[in-house]
A and B are shown apart, each in its own frame.
Chain A
Amino acid sequence: MACMNKQFLDARRLLCPMPVIRVQDKIKTMALGDQLEVVCTDPGVMQDIPAWCRINGHQILSANNNAGEFTINIIVGD
């Protein structure tokens, strides 16, 4: 299996749905099995990014709230 590629995305200060759009556009450039770590400040992402991932076949590895900064790790699916 090819080596997994991890990428980072800074979506702080953006309001939903902009972080979701940024994640979507970034994932388009990534391959199956790659990992994306996104950092956001809009609490809405804790609902919207997992929902977007569920319907589009990507997997959430973790979603954490560190004092108002939300870090979500996603594994790219099909």
Chain B
Amino acid sequence: MLATKAIMEQGVHVEGINFFTGFCVEGHTHAIRKKDKAKPKRNNSLWVAEQLGIKLHIIDVIEEYKNVLINPQHGYGANLNPCLDCKVFMVQKAQQWIEENDFDFIITGEVIGQRPMSQRKDTMPVIARESGANERLLRPLCAKNLPETLPEKEGWVNREELYDFSGRTRKPQMALAEQFGFTEYAQPAGGCCFLTDKSYSDKLVDLWTARGKKEYELDDVMLLKVGRHLRPKAHFKMIIAREEGENNFLQGYKNMFQTMTTVSHPGPLVLIDGTLSEQDCWLAAQITARYSQGREAEQVEVKMTQQGEEKSFLVTPLSSEEIPKEWHV
């Protein structure tokens, strides 16, 4: 936001590009959970573009991003976040976009030293080089700490009016935001990508382990964001809605999975991923009953649906002690 404004102040026409990888924490995630319904469900990049008065292009990179996440050349960060490879990929896509749309250079809001993995002085040139953007990649907020780029050499922007921010402190950014008159300043550190989240990354690792290979589809990525995930046995996992919003969301997937619901008591919708033996079905039914309003009841009736066929189970719900911590993914 600040980098864009800084360049616009120099009279340059800027348009925004937002890449959708599938892992972005956006309005939809908030829309799923009912308790968040009061919060505005805005998309941050659209909001930023509107504040700045620029066009925004949202690009679906879900398919291409798989290779970045599955085989990162530079490895992962603290969780499954392949930040350096991700930045190289995005700048490379932006380079392709500017060539197709007749733009001259790319700007990013990166600041040296702000993120431990991808925003270090030694990784800045890596991104420029490996993306193929080279001298056409300008970081207005820390440009003065980096070698001159093409837009500066050509005089398209004045290097003297760019910045020399560095390190983790955000004070200079806050001051600049104030100077630009931004009263609300979107998302400082992280928080916009699920891959930096430990619990999300654990669920993705569990999915890959269970499948025996690192691969995923958009539906997998979405379902990892929703519900309580329990793996009682290596060969099956249960996704249990935690409240009404998640229940509604999981309804959309019920034809792709075996499902369980409680009949005798109100309870959540449960999706089951895996192939279950008769014994597994009984266990799954007891777990389903545990998360229903019949958790204290002697017996709960649970209905299982698989490809249109229904089966009924009368079970005693498991107690919380009977659900080991290790089952929680």
Contacts and interface: CB of A to CB of B under 8 A. Distances in A.
Nearest to B248: A68
Contact residues of B: prevailing secondary structure: mixed
Contacts of A47: 27, 40-43
A55 B49 contact: yes
A31 interface: no
Given A21-B20, A21-B60, A54 B43 contact: no
A20 interface: yes
A16 B31 contact: yes
B31 A17 contact: no
B58 A24 contact: yes
Nearest to B18: A17
B46 A52 contact: yes
Interface string B118-153: 000000000000000000000000000000000000
B43 A17 contact: yes
A41 B222 CA distance: 16
A38 to B, nearest CB: 15
A52 B55 CA distance: 8
A51 interface: yes
A17 B20 contact: yes
A18 interface: yes
Contacts of B54: 55
A48 interface: yes
A55 B50 contact: yes
Interface residues of B, number: 26
Contacts of B31: 15-16, 42-44
B186 to A, nearest CB: 14
Contact of B28 (A44, A51, A54, A56): A44
A21 B43 CA distance: 12
A57 to B, nearest CB: 8
A26 interface: no
Most buried by A among B20, B31, B47, B58: B58
B55 A55 contact: yes
Contact of A56 (B24, B56, B59, B222): B56
Contacts of A18: 20, 60
A48 B18 CA distance: 14
Interface string A23-57: 01000000000000000001110011001101110
Contacts of B18: 17
B36 to A, nearest CB: 11
Nearest to A22: B60
Contacts of A6: none
Nearest to B43: A48
Given A17-B43, A20-B58, A54 B27 contact: no
Interface in B11-61: 18, 20, 24, 26-28, 30-31, 40-43, 46-47, 49-50, 53-60
Nearest to A19: B28
B222 A52 contact: no
Contacts of B20: 17-18, 21
A51 B55 contact: no
Given A16-B27, A16-B28, A44 B57 contact: no
A9 to B, nearest CB: 15
Given A17-B20, A20-B58, A48 B222 contact: no
Contacts of B252: 13
Given A47-B40, A48-B43, A56 B55 contact: yes
Contacts of B26: 16-17, 44
Interface of B: 18, 20, 24, 26-28, 30-31, 40-43, 46-47, 49-50, 53-60, 222, 252
